[in-house]
Amino acid sequence: MRYQCIVAYDGYDYFGYQIQNHEPLTIQQVIQEALQKLLKEKICIYASGRTDRKVHALGQVFHFDTSYDLKEESIQKGLNSFLPQSIRILKVNKVKDTFHARYDVVSKQYLYRIQNTALDNPFLSRYVVFIKEPIHIDLLNQAGQLFVGEHNFKNFTTNREDEVSTFIKKIMKMKVKVTKKEIQILFEGSGFLRSMVRLMVGAMLAVATQKKDLTYIQSLLDLSSLEKCSYKAPPQGLYLKKVNYGRR
């Protein structure tokens, strides 16, 4: 049987999502070990994609196969009983054997949280990024809109050319939301390269704090710049918000 799971996690204390040879603690490792304790069989989980160290998820998706035919609620409850509080299974769905958490993705949404204040809040430092310089919201929005559409994001990733089949990605939506306490940036795209969102946000903030102008981003997108983006936003403000799937 194949099951799809939606999981939320606080990624601050983990070495990213994907199991690494020499890193002691990853999200994938902890979930797999919990599943193996629950089901008493070797389990490998397959996620929609990886998240970096200290990056969070509100709605990461993974699937796994098991020889058992169990109720979804039983898996959710049992798995959460073996997981630390920093990882919670939000929902479990029984799916067709043809479903794949990575290859069936239609789009993903990422959220980035910022507080524009001179005084950091120690209780939020794991979950938002504090910026002391004035942020011009109009410039932030204009900078973000430059990313909407289909572009070559070669200058907005840490991926090497031999690691990906293409640098072309499509951003369907970019939205800046300002609340009383926070600035939130939302991206929805067909797919994202390694560190792509953090580099886009970093470039947007460079423009919004008037370190750079809008032509900086445009030159990186049209590849007229010989350099890659040099502004990378910190990881703890980033959340994988939602993964969207189409019907097969």
Amino acid identity for residue 126 in this structure: R
Amino acid identity for residue 203 in this structure: A
Number of residues written out for the chain: 248
- How far CA 161 is from CA of 154, 166, 176, 229, in Å, comes to 9, 8, 31, 16
In the annotation, is 13 catalytic? no
Residue 220: phi and psi, rounded to 5, are: -70, -35
Active-site option among 10, 13, 52, 162? 52
State how far the Cα of 190 lies from the Cα of 25, in Å rounded to an integer: 29
Amino acid identity for residue 112 in this structure: Y
Structure token pair of residue 13: 């204390």
State how far the Cα of 152 lies from the Cα of 144, in Å rounded to an integer: 15
Residues β-bridged to residue 171: 149, 189
Instruction: Tabulate helix, strand, coil % of the chain (nearest 5).
Output: 25, 30, 45
Residue 162: phi and psi, rounded to 5, are: -80, 0
State how far the Cα of 48 lies from the Cα of 62, in Å rounded to an integer: 6
Catalytic residue numbers?
A: 52
